[in-house]
Amino acid sequence: MTDPNFNEIKQEALLLQEQLAEHNYNYHVLDDPVISDGEYDRMMKRLIEIEKQFPELSTPDSPTKRVGATPLTSFDTADHSTPMQSLDNAFNDQEIIDFHNRVAKLLETDEIRYTVEPKLDGLAVELRYEQGILTLALTRGDGTTGEVITDNSRTINSVPLKLTPPADGTIPGFLEVRGEVIINSRDFETLNKKRLEMDEPLFANPRNAAAGSLRQLDSRVTAQRPLEIFVYGTGLARGLEADSHSGLLDTLKTLGFRINPEIRTGLTLTEVLDRFKELEGIRENLPYEIDGMVIKVDDIAHQTTLGVKAKSPRWAIAYKFPAMEETTVINDIKVQVGRTGTLTPVAILEPVSIGGVMVARASLHNMDEIERKDIRIKDTVLVKRAGDVIPKVVKPVTAKRTGDEKVFIMPDRCPVCDSPVRRLENEAAVKCINASCQAQLKQRIKHFVSKAGFDMDGLGAKLVDQLVDREILHSFADLFTLDKTTLAAMDRMGDKSAANVVRAIENSKRVPLKRFLFALGMDHTGESAALLLCERFLTLKALETATIGEINDIDGMGPKTAASVVMFFENQENLAMIEDMVKNGVVIEEHQALVNNQAEGEGEGKQESVFSGKTVVLTGSLVTMTRSEAKKRLQELGAKVTGSVSAKTDILVAGESAGSKLTKAQSLGVAVMDEEELTEQLNKG
């Protein structure tokens, strides 16, 4: 019996087929997607459902039958010996369990082991070797035919031009190796900065950068791009035998190919699901972007039994992370005023769920950023969210413009106090120059009372807003005059809460110089800069008379910080405020005094810490303490804690799931310490 809604469903299917074909072309051929991965996945899933219900609507040219898109005509093309298929997608644990159950039913056994690997966000390629020599490289293309990119692939350092003979000396006579070409996140940022300097269009993401680089007609251009490859399997292979996928990867590694270090083998279903959560947890620490995890039946005999479908193998599936990029509309652009007076434009978005989090706002950073990306009010935009990082607008979808969009103009007066604003020389920032601006005062006080500053527990953002709005707080010094009666009169405050805040303020009055300097909120002066200033000048009095040259000479300190610190202490109002804080009971523990107190507590003959004067890098997850706690304790013992490994690094502390930093440290001969040894040395002091 024909479904009464068949005609409507047919029209929906035809529209989806047309739209998905266009998006395939934009993504795979032009490297210029106009919708998010999440939106594309939902459209494809809906089309699959329709064609499953109504097979007569599944036409030969449907996107569900295709892999990738038509190759670029400007390249020569060649056929793959065996099709380069795509993978079915899963989006939750139950869909992986269903996949396992289907596999178990077909194999008539539940004893199945899997190999899992990060799903890299790059460009799939095939490398052909004859008698151990690279003779041909192809993009995936439409899965059957790919673009010839042999010369370009030869410029990638991690692509072997000649295979490394294994222990028995046998090189496969004919071997097709498949892998993913990527650009690391840091290299991508550097590449885009260079393109910005050259006034060239920016790449939207590392995947597009890798694809665009590999598809250069001039291989000399490709050679300038930081491309890398991880291989994950083979096409046609003569003279290479393996019983398992993990064994195949081991063999490829011996032949000189790069295998991803995050691959795990021999996993049960439960272990597969656990590994997915683990991989999702370390995702932001990886040097490259991934959008999920690929799960493969490890036994190759089982793979053969399971076989393949029209566009995907039955023995593998991709478990995708929640979408981190979505399409939405900018309803408006508002301006926020920060604690240093900087005006920051913020996109007010049509709320959209990204990676399970509802996003309604995204920072646009500054006017230069808005103009460079040509972002307008009412634009449809791609919005990206990575982990807990503030969402950002990737780019406008200009194809969806209707003519109703409005160009944003930065105001020439502060939206809070109506004072004039100015743009600093050689900087993108536009600032309110009124030091009494309430917006600045609120943000400065919130920074001042934060945990890394004076740590005034109970003085939250809403309470600070009330105290400033009611003109009770005019400066940092006023915090130390707050009493129980004043606080109890604030909204949602009672006698008990007020008493707790007064107690927290009293307990905060004795503060180390480092935290005091951080709390002042001087431009370009975070926790690390505050510590460097303490170590160089030791006392607040010495710092107050320091010159720009003296501060700039400190290793790790820059000219912007030096100028900001000197400017702050040259301001008589700031000095008067500090004097008022001292009158109100604040005791600033000078850095030298702290060092002396530690020495007195240690007693004579105490040996210097193993960390004294050493440059230390932390990587991976720690179990017995947080990274912040470890950093603080290392600094207390005289270490300089930095974020990246270099030839100047003395010690790398490697926690669980340590990644590229560990590899680099080992290659540089840097001493590596695990968490157990770290704890032992910290306890020794």
What is the DSSP annotation of 139-187? E-TTSSEEEB-HHHHTT-TTS-SBPPP-TT-PPPSEEEEEEEEE--HHH
In three-state secondary structure terms, 246 is helix
Q: Which of 394, 74, 431, 381 is nearest to 206 (CA)?
A: 394
Cα–Cα distance measured from residue 454 to residue 509, given in angstroms and rounded to the nearest whole number: 8
* Regions of the chain where pLDDT drops below 50: 1, 29, 66-69, 71-72, 388, 593-607
User: Domains in the chain and their CATH numbers?
Assistant: 6-65 (1.10.287.610), 77-320 (3.30.470.30), 325-423 (2.40.50.140), 460-589 (1.10.150.20), 615-684 (3.40.50.10190)
**CA–CA distances in Å: residue 61 to residues 6, 67, 208, 387, 404:** 20, 11, 25, 37, 36
Instruction: Identify residue 181 by its one-letter amino acid code.
Output: V
Q: Which element (helix H / strand E) includes 316? A: strand 316-320
Strands (E) located in 321-368: 325-337, 343-354, 357-363
**CA–CA distances in Å: residue 310 to residues 66, 88, 350, 500:** 9, 11, 39, 67
Residues 249, 254, 257, 262, CA torsion sign: positive
pLDDT at position 594 is 42
Cα–Cα distance measured from residue 212 to residue 201, given in angstroms and rounded to the nearest whole number: 12
Q: How many CB atoms lie under 10 A from the CB of residue 340?
A: 17
Cα–Cα distance measured from residue 139 to residue 91, given in angstroms and rounded to the nearest whole number: 27
In three-state secondary structure terms, 371 is helix
Strand order across the 228-238 sheet: 133-139, 123-130, 174-182, 228-238
The whole-model pTM stands at 0.53
Cα–Cα distance measured from residue 262 to residue 117, given in angstroms and rounded to the nearest whole number: 6
SS3 sequence of 109-144: CCCCCEEEEEEECCEEEEEEEECCEEEEEEECCCCC
Cα–Cα distance measured from residue 655 to residue 328, given in angstroms and rounded to the nearest whole number: 39
Q: Which of 66, 577, 41 is nearest to 320 (CA)?
A: 41
Phi, psi of 95 (to 5 degrees): -70, -30
pLDDT at position 28 is 52
Cα–Cα distance measured from residue 616 to residue 649, given in angstroms and rounded to the nearest whole number: 6
Residue 424 is given by DSSP the state: P
Tokens found for residue 22? 């266009």
Q: Are 331 and 348 in contact (CB under 8 A)?
A: yes
Tokens found for residue 546? 């320091």
What is the DSSP annotation of 523-581? TT--HHHHHHHHHHH-SHHHHHT--HHHHHTSTT--HHHHHHHHHHHH-HHHHHHHHHH
Tens of pLDDT, residue by residue over 583-600, are 999 999 887 544 444 444
pLDDT at position 411 is 93
Q: How many CB atoms lie under 10 A from the CB of residue 520?
A: 20
pLDDT at position 136 is 94
Catalytic residues: 119
